[in-house]
Structure 1
Amino acid sequence: MSADLERLTAEFEGFQARIRQAEARFSGVGQMQEQLAELEVVAISPDRSVRVVAGAGGAVKDIQLTPDALRQAAPTLAAAIMTTLREAVAEAVRRQVAIVDETVGGELGANTSEHVRQAQAEAWAAGAGTATQYQPSQPRAARSDDDDFSHDSIYGSRG
């Protein structure tokens, strides 16, 4: 009976040691979550007319335009907004991944930061020759105030 008890005690102690190791490995998760919640990246266009703030997950928190921005042609302004937005979001993603790698990347055997940088470089290289040009949308047919909208769908088809 004492051999069984010793074996069970050893297994239990091994289990407790693994729990302590896991707790030590992931002790920074709470701090990581705080850092991610506070993450903000600001990107400014070269002419300083567009400012974009992005957060964790690439969430766009703010876009600001100067009066000079509003004097630009629509295609120029659209391009400046999109370029600045992409820069802010890309940097926010890089910083987010760096925070995660710093906290748990080594424990998981992952270097996610390098994968993200490589994927972003490939995406930008692929899109470099295909700059999006502003295309105004087609004007909608005017409707009178007394049209019945009860059968319209928010998804654009009548039903």
Structure 2
Amino acid sequence: MSAHIDELIAQFENFQTKVRQAEANFAGVGDMQERIAQVENAVTSPDGAVTVVAGASGTVTDIRLAAGAARLDTAQLSVLIMNTLREAVAGAVRQQAGIVDDAFGDAFGVNTSEQVRQAQAEAWGTEAEEPASEHQAAQQTPRQAAPRRRPGPRDDDDYFDDNSILRRD
């Protein structure tokens, strides 16, 4: 009977150790939430014409156009804005993932940052790699940097690449 009680006591102590470990891990949740709320990632296009600032959860908080943006044709400016916006949002999301990894990655054996990079690479059809700088857009021309469009039906009501808003029936 004594051996059985000793085993129960050992199991209870093991359980208490795990509870204390979980409490310690979750003690940093408030700090993590505060750090996430302060996330800000500013990206400027290679030519300096467009700057986009993204915050927590990839929320775009500012878009600034330099005087040089007015000299671009509308298609170039549109692509430049979208690419810069994508980079700013992606960087903010990667920063957020890094904060989560700092708080819980070791405790749960999860690498959120890597999962985010892989998901972004899959979504954009690129290689999953750590960007050289979170504060600069990729050094590409606007035409080269266009995001890949997923294949889909061209008769979709929301497809306007032919510059027509009228449905062709």
Deviation >6 Å, runs of 4+:
5-12
Q: Distance between the aligned counterparts of 2:74 and 2:92, measured in 1?
A: 27
Query: What is the one-letter code of the residue matched to 1:104?
Result: F
Query: What is the one-letter code of the residue matched to 2:37?
Result: A
1:35 aligns with 2:35: yes
Q: Which residue of 1 aligns with 2:120?
A: 120
SS of residue paired to 1:35: helix
Q: How many angstroms does 1:124 deviate by? A: 2.0
Structure that is richer in helix per residue: 1
SS of residue paired to 1:64: strand
Contact 1:74/1:134 (<8 A) preserved: no
- More RCO (CA 8 Å, sep 6+): 2
Q: Distance between the aligned counterparts of 2:17 and 2:69, measured in 1?
A: 60
Q: Distance between the aligned counterparts of 1:112 and 1:88, measured in 2?
A: 18
* Sequence identity (%): 51
Say if 1:61 and 1:135 are closer, same or farther in 2 by CA, change over 3 A: farther
Q: How many angstroms does 1:19 deviate by? A: 2.9
Q: How many angstroms does 1:111 deviate by? A: 1.1
Q: Distance between the aligned counterparts of 2:47 and 2:161, measured in 1?
A: 19
Q: Which residue of 2 aligns with 1:98?
A: 98
Which runs of no fewer than 5 residues in structure 1 stay unpaired?
Answer: 140-159
Contact 2:45/2:84 (<8 A) preserved: yes
Which runs of no fewer than 5 residues in structure 2 stay unpaired?
Answer: 127-145, 151-158
Q: Distance between the aligned counterparts of 1:123 and 1:7, measured in 2?
A: 51
Q: Distance between the aligned counterparts of 1:105 and 1:11, measured in 2?
A: 26
TM-score (norm 1): 0.71
TM-score (norm 2): 0.67
1:138 aligns with 2:165: yes
Q: Distance between the aligned counterparts of 2:162 and 2:67, measured in 1?
A: 23
Tell me how large the CA RMSD over aligned residues is. Answer: 3.2
Q: Which residue of 2 aligns with 1:59?
A: 59
Q: How many angstroms does 1:123 deviate by? A: 2.1
Between structure 1 and structure 2, the one with the greater Rg is 1
Q: How many angstroms does 1:48 deviate by? A: 0.5
Query: What is the one-letter code of the residue matched to 1:65?
Result: L
Q: How many angstroms does 1:27 deviate by? A: 2.0
Q: Distance between the aligned counterparts of 1:125 and 1:79, measured in 2?
A: 17
Q: How many angstroms does 1:16 deviate by? A: 4.4
